[in-house]
Structure 1
Amino acid sequence: MSKILSDISLSAVVAGFVAVLIGFASSVAIVFQAAEAAGADEAMKISWIMALGIGMGATCFALSWYYKAPVITAWSTPGAALLATSLNGASYAESLAVFMFAGALALLLGITGLFDRMMRWIPLPIACAMLVGVLFNFGVAIFTSLESSPWLVMIMLLAYLVSKLIIPRYAVIIVLLAGLLMVLIEPNTDFSSIPLSVGTLQWVTPEWNTSLILGVGVPLFIVTLTSQNIPGVAVMRASHYQTPVSNIISWTGFSTVLLAPFGGFAFNLAAITAAICSGDECHKEASKRYIAGLSAGVFYAIAGLAGASVVGLFAVFPAAMIAALAGIALLGTIGANLKAAFDSDAYREPALITFLTTVSGVSFLGVASAFWGICFGLLVLMIQRIKND
């Protein structure tokens, strides 16, 4: 506790809060769509949010504290999108068994150490190029948001540029405050519809359906692995955190198995929000950025326990504000990884292929572009080395 108190900083705490804000506000609607496809009623939907918040809170806090690194976990947004289109006709109990099966596969992948060995095959420039491809559209969203909310986004961007010159460590804090101020002075902002209530966890015993588990559970595992866990590891490696990722994957898989009966459909390493908590804007000393992971854990748990109230609060914030905040918070990470990806002549072309494939969003066989970006980049690198030999 004394170490935490000595390492705590406002910028790291706010980085954790911003990560939770963006994580919830950007994709909670997709989670509700997945819950509806699974046959969840209103009480069960709140149970999903509670289970997800508690699971992410516990894993963020415990893993960040243990490894002294900003280990940020999240729900699988691509996984939720997959579930929203794949669970029609399944019973709610059968859907929960799908979640447990996908979590068990992740647990097995982590326990065997296969994930660690797989990630060691990926050179840092290629991993950084893939990460830039994942983050690229978030940076672009700063400027596309200008079309719908020009004054809001311009004020936030101006706040960032000025604060970077004067107090760079607190730039994201200033941007967040500027965005909140603009929302508060907007005459159409209405907080009266936010429900003030705490939900309850709803246990439902999962029911095994082999065809559904193979048809949806395996794709859920693959989508979560390729679009969430691999980019999540890339974030950590790009920030020079050498945490044993197989252990972390094991814990996220175990959390999924444990909380699936309550609606915790998939836990994994975060990528976008992890980048916010592992960059220089969080803290200039990398050894003290774990505070952002602890902070995110606390805010996730609060968000989960508050359930419907938090979801209603996030719904008040304009989409343009969330998009601009995410993009601005990630500018430093995008720039640093662009440099790392393309700085070396030996890796420049493989990194370029990786970046272009990832940013294209192309999907083969239901597997996300981040995975194919790494595959194509490694293929180009292998061909180059064969030619040089």
Structure 2
Amino acid sequence: MLSRLPPLASWTSALIAALIGFGGTVALVVQAMQALGAEAGQVGSAVTALCLGIAVAGATLSLWMRMPVVLAWSTPGAALLAASDGAVAWPLAIGAFVAAAALMCLLGLVPALGRLAARIPASVASAMLAGVLLPFCLQLFRTLQTDPLLVVILLLVFVIARQRFPLYALLLVLVSGVAVVLLRGDMVGFAPDTLLGGLKPVTPAFDLKAVASIGVPLFLVTLVSQNLPGLVVLRTAGYEPKPQPLLLGTGLATMLLAPFGAHGVNLAAITAAICTSTDAHPDQRRRWTVGLIYAAFYLALALFSAPLVQFFLTMPKASIAAFTGIALIVPLSGAVENMLIEKSERDAAILTFAATASGVSLLGIGSAFWGLLAGFAALAAKAVFARRN
């Protein structure tokens, strides 16, 4: 019986992956929900719902597909929401979450649409993501004006950790930053009402402008920056996952939990690499158990999410801005690299990037949509003139 239990490495790999996935970007999720006007209880509900989705959907898919299906929340999606800066009210945001999840389910149900989505130019999608992320990284350095000590310490820890322990860089940054905040006595008013997480449903409200502003961009960045790379990680580990059940499963999980604030449950990429390697389990046929252990840790995070969320809600805004900026440096680097790989699409990518980063809002629709529109229009014009020549 004991021989059938996963080795110790499986438990440690899953624990490290869960801590990195949660701790590295939970500050960004909190900031995103606050930007949409969510109250403290609704922010806690959103984090609880996301952790539950990651746990239940991940365990179900791992058990069914017999491979370590490691899920996460949409980090680029959270950045997109945080950039909305109150342009969309909370019930409308919930409706946009449902719409984005429905689009993901549609990809899972209709294989032809999945193949079409795979042909979305990575340059334009990455440029939109880069435009969303850039303001947060710039805000990191603007925070030097209000809290230079914290920012300098976080940058030093990040730069050194990226050289020595790149996988744990964000976790080390979080631990260092929290230590600075606690030592200075900045945590005033931290008194969680309960230790257990809770769910607070909100009836979704649907609006075309909200869907265009955040629903469609949320769907695209989650697909291109999370789900597609997550599939690549599984294939690299020697598995042959069918995209349809994974897209449908994560889409359904998001749709069911969206009324509680879940903006996006999707495949993980970086943390998935930890759980799918031979270091996590030497037997590829039994490695799916690592996915179950990872899901169990997220279930624990869901149960005790209330004090964790309250902790970040109590932190000074400068600290949250610093954590968020640091957490998005590596994704920004990857997005910029991907948007410039294809030389023939660079003009479209730069237009998308500039329009998105500008933060412009026209007709009540946010800049991410207009960035995509500019990029696709540039590619269409290029294709038309190429045919004429």
TM-score by length of 1: 0.71
Q: Could you tell me how far 1:197 is from its partner in structure 2?
A: 3.7
1:278 to 269, 274, 278: 269
CA, structure 1 residues 98+387, in 2 after alignment: closer, same or farther (shift >3 Å)? closer
CA, structure 1 residues 318+249, in 2 after alignment: closer, same or farther (shift >3 Å)? farther
Q: Could you tell me how far 1:336 is from its partner in structure 2?
A: 3.0
Is the counterpart of residue 147 in structure 1 residue 145 in structure 2? yes
* Equivalent AA in structure 1 for residue 34 of structure 2: A
Is the counterpart of residue 228 in structure 1 residue 218 in structure 2? yes
Local SS of the residue matching 1:127: helix
Distance, in Å, in 2 between the alignment partners of 1:8 and 1:307 is 21
Judge which range, 216-225 or 15-24, deviates more: 216-225
Q: Could you tell me how far 1:160 is from its partner in structure 2?
A: 1.4
Q: In structure 2, what is the equivalent of residue 167 of structure 1?
A: 165
The aligned length equals 358
CA, structure 1 residues 363+247, in 2 after alignment: closer, same or farther (shift >3 Å)? farther
Distance, in Å, in 2 between the alignment partners of 1:218 and 1:196 is 37
Is the counterpart of residue 15 in structure 1 residue 13 in structure 2? no
Distance, in Å, in 2 between the alignment partners of 1:169 and 1:52 is 23
Judge which range, 194-203 or 226-235, deviates more: 194-203
Q: Could you tell me how far 1:123 is from its partner in structure 2?
A: 2.0
Q: Could you tell me how far 1:151 is from its partner in structure 2?
A: 0.6
Q: Could you tell me how far 1:286 is from its partner in structure 2?
A: 9.7
* Equivalent AA in structure 1 for residue 23 of structure 2: V
Q: Could you tell me how far 1:357 is from its partner in structure 2?
A: 1.8
Local SS of the residue matching 1:8: helix
* Equivalent AA in structure 1 for residue 221 of structure 2: P
Is the counterpart of residue 375 in structure 1 residue 380 in structure 2? no
Local SS of the residue matching 2:187: coil
CA, structure 1 residues 18+310, in 2 after alignment: closer, same or farther (shift >3 Å)? closer
8 Å CA contact retained: 2:29, 2:47: no
Distance, in Å, in 2 between the alignment partners of 1:96 and 1:131 is 21
* Equivalent AA in structure 2 for residue 73 of structure 1: W
Judge which range, 329-338 or 346-355, deviates more: 329-338
* Equivalent AA in structure 2 for residue 16 of structure 1: G
* Equivalent AA in structure 2 for residue 111 of structure 1: L
**Any unmatched runs of 5+ in structure 1?**
37-41, 88-94, 207-212
Q: In structure 1, what is the equivalent of residue 121 of structure 2?
A: 123
Distance, in Å, in 2 between the alignment partners of 1:131 and 1:257 is 23
Distance, in Å, in 2 between the alignment partners of 1:308 and 1:256 is 20
* Equivalent AA in structure 1 for residue 223 of structure 2: V
Q: In structure 2, what is the equivalent of residue 354 of structure 1?
A: 352
8 Å CA contact retained: 1:359, 1:369: yes
8 Å CA contact retained: 2:275, 2:291: no
* Equivalent AA in structure 2 for residue 333 of structure 1: P
Map residues 1-389 of structure 1 onto 2, 5 A cutoff. Answer: 2=6, 5=10, 8=13, 12-19=17-24, 21-30=26-35, 33-34=37-38, 50-59=48-57, 62=60, 68=68, 71-74=71-74, 78=81, 84=89, 107-108=105-106, 110-113=108-111, 115-190=113-188, 193-198=191-196, 216=206, 221-236=211-226, 239=229, 241-242=231-232, 247-256=245-254, 258-259=256-257, 263-265=259-261, 267-269=263-265, 278-279=269-270, 288=277, 301-306=299-304, 308-364=306-362, 366-388=364-386, 389=389
Distance, in Å, in 2 between the alignment partners of 1:149 and 1:338 is 28
Distance, in Å, in 1 between the alignment partners of 2:273 and 2:99 is 41
Q: Could you tell me how far 1:303 is from its partner in structure 2?
A: 4.5
Q: Could you tell me how far 1:175 is from its partner in structure 2?
A: 1.4
Q: Could you tell me how far 1:359 is from its partner in structure 2?
A: 1.5
8 Å CA contact retained: 1:69, 1:241: no
Q: Could you tell me how far 1:182 is from its partner in structure 2?
A: 0.3
* Equivalent AA in structure 2 for residue 166 of structure 1: R
8 Å CA contact retained: 1:55, 1:267: no
Distance, in Å, in 2 between the alignment partners of 1:268 and 1:328 is 21
Distance, in Å, in 1 between the alignment partners of 2:293 and 2:146 is 32
Matched-pair identity in %: 26
CA, structure 1 residues 129+61, in 2 after alignment: closer, same or farther (shift >3 Å)? farther
What's the CA shift string for 1:106-157, capped at 9, x where partnerless? 6446423465244223222222222211221222122022122111111110
8 Å CA contact retained: 1:135, 1:334: yes
8 Å CA contact retained: 1:115, 1:246: no
Local SS of the residue matching 1:72: strand
* Equivalent AA in structure 2 for residue 230 of structure 1: L
Local SS of the residue matching 2:191: coil
Q: Could you tell me how far 1:278 is from its partner in structure 2?
A: 3.4
What's the CA shift string for 1:68-106, capped at 9, x where partnerless? 56542359764995762767xxxxxxx999987886676
CA, structure 1 residues 267+190, in 2 after alignment: closer, same or farther (shift >3 Å)? closer
Q: Could you tell me how far 1:268 is from its partner in structure 2?
A: 2.5
Distance, in Å, in 2 between the alignment partners of 1:104 and 1:191 is 39
Q: In structure 1, what is the equivalent of residue 236 of structure 2?
A: none
Distance, in Å, in 1 between the alignment partners of 2:100 and 2:226 is 23
